[in-house]
Amino acid sequence: MNIYAEALMLWLIMDSVGNIPVFAAILNHIPAEKRKRIILRELLIALLVLFIFLFFGSRILNSMQLSHAALSISGAIILFLIAIKMIFPSPASKEQSFLADPFIVPLAIPLTAGPASMTMVMLLHTQYPNQIWASCAVILIAWFFTALFLYFGESLSRILGTRGLIAIERLMGMLLTTLAVQMLLNGVSLYIHG
């Protein structure tokens, strides 16, 4: 397993750059000194969810009698849809607002640990069952950079500006589209040869 390549893919899926404006919109009514604590709490919950899916995801798949090919193909479809949303975002999706202090939903799940990242983590375990520590390293590296971007999101937003953030998110979406197609081809190949 190439830990850094897998971590980069998971980091792209977690879309930390694209989530900066969403986090800002959801937390804009909360005092500045409390925002960092909420972001950190939600990021830790997302990390816990990813580890749960790493260690118990394959058991869930086995109990539902789902194949690795089905997981790979469905993961590719989800990833492709997320990539398309990154390239062509809808204006309404960025205007979420919450009156209360957000807890778990939507910051931890689905914004940070969403369906695509959960699927990717389960795929890591099924593709590399004997490399559990490498899979843990992949999650930690991707989570660390996601946390870094989201924790310092306000500063990055000021430095890059709205156009800069949009340009980076669309570039990440284009990379994810390519990865989704490759994942789909791998799933079809698994299905044909399995």
User: Does pTM surpass 0.95?
Assistant: no
Mean pLDDT of 37-64: 92
Using the predicted structure, report yes or no on whether residue 92 has a pLDDT greater than 80.
no
Mean pLDDT of 183-190: 87
79 contacts 150 by C-beta, under 8 angstroms: no
- Token pair in block for residue 140: 């930690």
The 10 Å CB-count burial string (b at 16+, else e) for 49-85 is bbbebbeebbeebeeeeeebbebbbbbbbbbbebbeb
pLDDT in tens, 13-26: 998 998 898 898 88
Q: Give 142 or 28, the one with higher predicted confidence.
A: 142
> Cα(119)–Cα(31) distance, rounded to whole angstroms?
35
> Cα(30)–Cα(98) distance, rounded to whole angstroms?
10
| Three-state DSSP state, 138 | helix
pLDDT given at position 53: 93
pLDDT confidence of 58, banded at 50, 70, 90? confident
- ∠ CA 26-30-35, nearest 5°, is 85
* Furthest-apart CA atoms within the chain: distance in Å: 56
Question: What are the sequence ranges of the domains in the chain?
Answer: 3-193
pLDDT given at position 119: 86
- Token pair in block for residue 62: 């086995």
DSSP state of 38: H
> Which ranges in 112-152 belong to alpha helices (H)?
115-127, 132-151
- Token pair in block for residue 39: 């972001």
pLDDT in tens, 120-175: 999 898 889 899 999 999 999 999 999 999 999 989 888 988 888 888 888 888 88
